[in-house]
């Protein structure tokens, strides 16, 4: 892989351990409607493709109409307003970010709603990223390449000098759609087999191993 001018990071499962906070908000939403809740670990497979998909995955099979999903999302958002701050950066993520070359441009591209993406990044990583982008009406969920393309255009970097780092097949598929190098991480929500089968060009076990990928 070519030494990058831009690294695009996924947020949930890559920079931040948000599993318990997201699970807590969805389980509170389910409970408020009288639906069964799920173990926190189950949300490793539920989340990663946006709130609507996560809501559908955790709702009972006979309660997945558009209205049911919309109500679940609304309830989730109310609870997540209180819980997002309970997340935490993964071990050594802060060390990684301060150890990267100072001239390197950094961005975040998340399927989390932009409102929460901006708040999480600004709270946990203040004055660190050059561009932060979550899901908005004009920015489709990954793996659609529009968000990644927007970041590269805004920051003036080429596809050949951009890496996208994430923990799921969605992230690796986004890298492929954007025609950039995809780097998979193993401390997040999914496993090595998923990352390999979705075309990761490199896979790292720990954040500091990302530095070893630089030529």
Q: What is the pLDDT of residue 93?
A: 98
Tell me how far apart the alpha carbons of residues 84 and 117 are, in angstroms, rounded to a whole number.
Answer: 10
Share of the chain above pLDDT 70, in %: 100
Residue 112, CA distances (Å) to 120, 133, 160, 206 in order: 10, 9, 26, 23
* Average pLDDT, integer, range 182-192: 97
Confidence band of 199 (pLDDT split at 50, 70, 90): very high
- Alpha-carbon Rg for the chain in angstroms: 17
Interaxial angle between packed helices 66-83 and 51-58, expressed in degrees from 0 to 180 and rounded to the nearest 10: 110
Q: What is the pLDDT of residue 70?
A: 95
* Whether pLDDT at 48 is above 90: no
* Whether pLDDT at 58 is above 90: yes
Render pLDDT for 131-153 as a digit per residue (tens, 0 to 9). Answer: 999 999 999 999 999 999 999 99
Confidence band of 215 (pLDDT split at 50, 70, 90): confident
Q: What is the pLDDT of residue 49?
A: 87
**pLDDT, greater one: 49 or 79:** 79
What mean pLDDT is reported for the chain?
96
Ramachandran area for residue 156 (φ above 0: left; ψ -120 to 50: alpha; else beta): left
Q: What is the pLDDT of residue 213?
A: 97
């Amino acid at each position: 892989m070519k030494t990058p001018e831009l690294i695009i990071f996924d947020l949930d499962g890559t920079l931040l351990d948000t599993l318990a906070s997201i699970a807590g908000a969805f389980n509170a939403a389910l409970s408020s409607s009288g639906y069964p809740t799920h173990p926190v670990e189950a949300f490793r497979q539920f989340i990663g493709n946006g709130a609507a998909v996560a809501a559908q995955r955790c709702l009972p099979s006979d309660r997945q109409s558009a209205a049911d999903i919309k109500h679940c999302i609304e309830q989730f958002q109310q609870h997540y307003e209180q819980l997002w701050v309970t997340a935490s950066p993964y071990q050594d993520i802060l060390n990684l970010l301060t150890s990267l070359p100072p001239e390197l441009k950094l961005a975040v591209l998340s399927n989390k709603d932009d409102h929460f993406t901006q708040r999480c990044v600004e709270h946990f990583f203040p004055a660190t990223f050059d561009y932060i982008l979550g899901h908005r009406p004009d920015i489709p969920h990954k793996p659609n390449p529009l968000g990644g393309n927007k970041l590269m255009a805004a920051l003036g970097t080429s596809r050949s000098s951009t890496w996208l780092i994430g923990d799921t097949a969605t992230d690796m598929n986004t890298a492929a759609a954007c025609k950039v190098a995809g780097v998979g991480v193993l401390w997040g929500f999914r496993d090595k087999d998923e990352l390999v089968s979705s075309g990761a060009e490199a896979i790292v076990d720990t954040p500091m191993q990302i530095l070893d990928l630089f030529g």
